[in-house]
Amino acid sequence: MNSVTSGAGGAPKKKGFQMPTVYTILFVIIGIVALLTWIIPAGRYDYLTADTRQLIPAAESIDYSGDERLLPVPGTFQELESSPQGFADVLLAPIEGFHKAVSVALFVLIIGGYLGVIMMSGALDAGVAAVVSRFKGREQVMIPILMLLFGIGGSTFGMAEETVAFWVLILPVIGAAGYDRMVAAGIILLGSGIGVLCSTVNPFATGIASGFAGLQIGDGIGLRLLMFFVLQTTAILYVMRYAAKVKADQSASILADIEFNDEFSRPAQAADFTGSRKLTMAVFFFTFLIMIYSVIPWADFGITVIPTLWWWFDELSALFLASAVLVAFINRMPEGEFVQSFLDGAKDLIGVALIIAIARGIYVVMNDGMIIDSILHWAESMITGLDSGGVFAVVAYIVHIVLSFFIPSTSGLATVSMPLMGPLSDFAGVNRDIMITVFQSASGWINIFAPTASHLVAGLALAKIPYERYLKWVAPLLVVVLVLSMGMLFMAA
């Protein structure tokens, strides 16, 4: 799988500045973070264990090996001996990041193998051709439907990393409908991203933050539903407007100068949609439905009629591996052909797995350099003393944007920030549910475009969309979402 850029008529283009690849961008960020460990004083808070409420002094928290979450104690920050990260640490960071992200990386490789087997069967080509034929003349209808589905997933259970699997499903359908790959990126990344930004009952963001703030998960849900309606509608209109422009004139695509040459770029073949291919596509879709069901924490929503499976990447990898074997059996693939097609598909996504490892390496350097708490302490001092509720909410939003860049995990950020920010909102006269919305809105906003968001860079790499093109395309919407979010939070506070 590769892509080639050429000028009009094949004429050589004059070389100017070219944006580096996402690999280089992530390594540069690792280097900058390592440099910060020489500048920012190292430090830690005292911590309490989440369940047993045992106090862990700052110096001892560094080597804590228990299985309970640690909650920082406000007002206890103290500087410790610096642990600056050098050149060797920068080189080791992606390796350690791979260790910490191995389950996600393996999941991506198995998804690649699964796609290879599906493509070999010919079922996807035939299925896409059938879908496009059915929606002919009404292709734009797919955009709001799919974005709302991804948005609901993001809002209810924090769908982010799981979206990597859906690129293989969305890309061929969108391409066959006459749109470019950026439309697929908008559907997946903006649909789910706005959903996470406006999380309503997301247990990994709203739930964890509410627990640390001493509130019920439903407190403040009215504001979040309003934000979901306003921002998701804005994003849908943005994607639909661009999609209509590209369909009318392919040269209007922001990717027009890139020639893609992979399984997603081939036109859907009008192959016979035979019984075995229909059964293959049924397995294909049913596998995704099982994935969605298995990762939703039904018990956290008070739903006990159906069992909560609590699956994550290990179980999901096994699911897609089993599905690949089933597809091979349905299509009577010889064993050698199955193995080769699986390996070829996995090989195509090795780069995506490496991106995930490098992105995780950023957090490794910050953690080893002990500057995460130092940055958190800066955030605490930034909003202490603000007596205007609206100003407090806006400043807290900006602070959380900075924190979210360094801690892209919503659950991880909730764990370290809410025990500090919750009490501070009391002093400012702002309801704690507003602070929860501030936290998840800021975290969701930056994860729509930050290169530290592994699901984003992995999806773009899978689709061969240059990161800088996506950033250029999404920038106007990001400004609108930022202004609308801060405006609604200011009014609510």
- pLDDT 10s digits, 173-230: 888 888 999 999 999 999 999 999 998 877 667 877 887 677 777 788 889 999 999 9
423: nearest Cα among 462, 392, 458: 392
Q: Lowest mean pLDDT: which of 161-175, 360-374, 404-418?
A: 404-418
DSSP, collapsed to helix, strand or coil, labels residue 30 as helix
* Dihedral (CA of 291, 295, 298, 299) sign: positive
Output the six-digit token pair for 250. Answer: 């392919």
- Quick: pLDDT tens for 439-460: 999 999 999 998 878 789 889 9
Residue 65 backbone zone (phi > 0: left; psi -120 to 50: alpha; other: beta):
alpha
- Quick: pLDDT tens for 128-168: 667 767 777 777 888 998 898 889 888 877 777 778 778 88
* Dihedral (CA of 97, 101, 106, 107) sign: negative
**pLDDT of 434 higher than 50:** yes
CA distance 371 to 378: 11
CA distance 456 to 188: 10
Higher pLDDT, 69 or 492: 492
Angle at 89 between CA 86 and CA 94, to 5 degrees: 145
DSSP, collapsed to helix, strand or coil, labels residue 264 as coil
pLDDT of residue 268: 53
DSSP, collapsed to helix, strand or coil, labels residue 383 as helix
- Quick: pLDDT tens for 247-301: 999 999 999 988 887 766 665 555 677 788 889 888 988 887 887 788 777 877 6
Higher pLDDT, 384 or 121: 121
Angle at 78 between CA 74 and CA 83, to 5 degrees: 130
CA 383 vs. chain centroid, Å, equals: 28
Kind of pairing between the strands at 43-44 and 55-56: unpaired
Mean of per-residue pLDDT scores for the chain: 83
Contact 108, 320 (CB under 8 A): no
Q: Lowest mean pLDDT: which of 51-55, 143-147, 237-241, 375-379?
A: 375-379
Q: What HEC string does 82-131 produce?
A: CCCCCHHHHHHHHHHHHHHCHHHHHHHHHHHHHHHHHHHHCHHHHHHHHH
Mean pLDDT of 79-95: 90
How far is CA 34 from each of CA 28, 83, 361, 369, 407, rounded to the nearest angstrom? 10, 10, 11, 8, 15
**pLDDT of 1 higher than 50:** no
Higher pLDDT, 116 or 237: 237
Output the six-digit token pair for 193. Answer: 């991203």
pLDDT of residue 277: 85
Mean pLDDT of 402-417: 74
Contact 493, 392 (CB under 8 A): yes
pLDDT of residue 470: 96
pLDDT band (50, 70, 90) for residue 387 = low
Q: Angle between the 410-427 and 432-446 helix axes, to the nearest 10 degrees?
A: 140
CA distance 428 to 391: 10
**pLDDT of 330 higher than 50:** yes
Contact 177, 132 (CB under 8 A): yes
pLDDT of residue 427: 66
Kind of pairing between the strands at 2-5 and 258-261: antiparallel
Percent with pLDDT over 70 in the chain: 90
pLDDT of residue 358: 81
**pLDDT of 35 higher than 90:** yes
- Phi and psi for 70 in degrees, rounded to 5? -105, 135
Output the six-digit token pair for 87. Answer: 């050149």
CA distance 420 to 400: 12
pTM confidence score: 0.71
Mean pLDDT of 366-378: 83
**pLDDT of 241 higher than 90:** yes
